[in-house]
Amino acid sequence: MLRALALAALTLAFASGGAETARAQYAEGGARGLAMGRVGVALGGQTWGQANPATWATAARGLGVEASQAYGLEGLRIAGASASVPLALGTLAASGRTYGADGYAETRILAGFAREVPLSSARTLALGLAVGYDGVSIDDFGSKGSLHLSVGVQGDVVPTVRAGFALRNALGFFDDTEADLTRPLGSVPSVAAGLAFRPSDRALLALDLDQNLDGDLSVRAGLEARVVQPLAVRAGVGTGPTTFSAGVGIYAGPLAADLAVEHHEDLGLTPAVSLQIGF
């Protein structure tokens, strides 16, 4: 019931209907990922673990914050933070984000752990786990909460190609019909696989396939190029829905600032900004 009401409310807000609208609205995981078409399943070493918690296995110590505003609407804002801390046994991580439209609010709080497992003297496999809480509240209709579980793996196929696989919101695959209707919009289960190709230190190409439980297969591709040492330029495309995105990253010592904008074929522009600092 809550989920059906939320879909109706967001449909009115967007003046465009259906599950595709709901799928497109969450610009989470940092502005770098948004600028690259929302890819990230095979990208290692990120403080943001939204695409694949296995990325934390190779992440440095860092703290990131992000903000975005879907389609320029004040009521559709995301604010989030994520941190990663490498330890001897693996990397600990934590993240949280809020999302809201008028009368509708979602909250997610996660804790994560990831580590590299040796497969041979020259090859490792990164394993990651994120557990937490997803909550949704709708004015005059109450609130609902559920456990969150995401798992993922990453590994190098060859030195220049990395592969990844992730199950996001995995517990949702076992929900009955009633539970499915009360699930927050941002907690729809999905299966994702990806490849990342890094021909040099200055170039990165990535491809993700994302099957959402509520929709069609999404294909996403992104690229990043270091034009000069402190500046990276990015672009990406996606299907289901059709999107085009672009952005830049600026690096200064331990500080990184990322800007991005995504164009949705029906709903317009989503700007995003994120900051990350190593410590």
* Dihedral (CA of 188, 82, 98, 260) sign: negative
Report the pLDDT value the prediction gives residue 252, as an integer from 0 to 100: 95
Domain boundaries, the chain: 2-278
List pLDDT tens digits, range 44-98: 999 999 999 999 999 999 999 999 988 877 778 899 999 999 999 999 999 999 9
pTM of model > 0.95: no
User: What is the rounded distance in angstroms from the CA atom of residue 176 to the CA atom of residue 42?
Assistant: 31
Structure tokens at 172: 């949702």
CB 237 within 8 A of CB 245: yes
Other CB atoms within a 10 A radius of the CB of residue 76 amount to 23
Mean pLDDT of 201-208: 97
pLDDT higher than 70, residue 14 = no
Residue 267 burial (10 A CB sphere; 0-12, 13-18, 19+): buried
Side-chain-facing half-sphere of 234: CA atoms under 13 Å: 30
User: What is the rounded distance in angstroms from the CA atom of residue 105 to the CA atom of residue 111?
Assistant: 21
pLDDT higher than 90, residue 9 = no
Q: Is the peptide bond before 241 cis (omega within 30 degrees of 0)?
A: yes
Report the pLDDT value the prediction gives residue 185, as an integer from 0 to 100: 66
Q: Tell me the three state secondary structure of residue 47.
A: coil
Mean pLDDT of 115-125: 93
The residues that bridge with 94 in the sheet, in sequence order, are: 83, 111
Instruction: Using CA atoms of 92, 96, 256, 235 in order, give the dihedral in degrees to the nearest 10.
Output: 110
Closest CA to 55 of 65, 47, 66, 44: 44
Q: Could you identify the residue written with the tokens 């190779």?
A: 58
The residues that bridge with 248 in the sheet, in sequence order, are: 233, 259
List pLDDT tens digits, range 223-266: 999 989 899 999 999 998 899 999 999 999 999 999 999 999 88
Q: Identity (one letter) of the amino acid at 152? A: G
Mean pLDDT of 1-10: 47
What values do phi and psi take at 179, rounded to 5? -65, -35
User: What is the rounded distance in angstroms from the CA atom of residue 2 to the CA atom of residue 162?
Assistant: 39
- CATH number for the domain running over 2-278: 2.40.160.60
Report the pLDDT value the prediction gives residue 27, as an integer from 0 to 100: 72
pLDDT higher than 80, residue 24 = no
The residues that bridge with 256 in the sheet, in sequence order, are: 251, 276
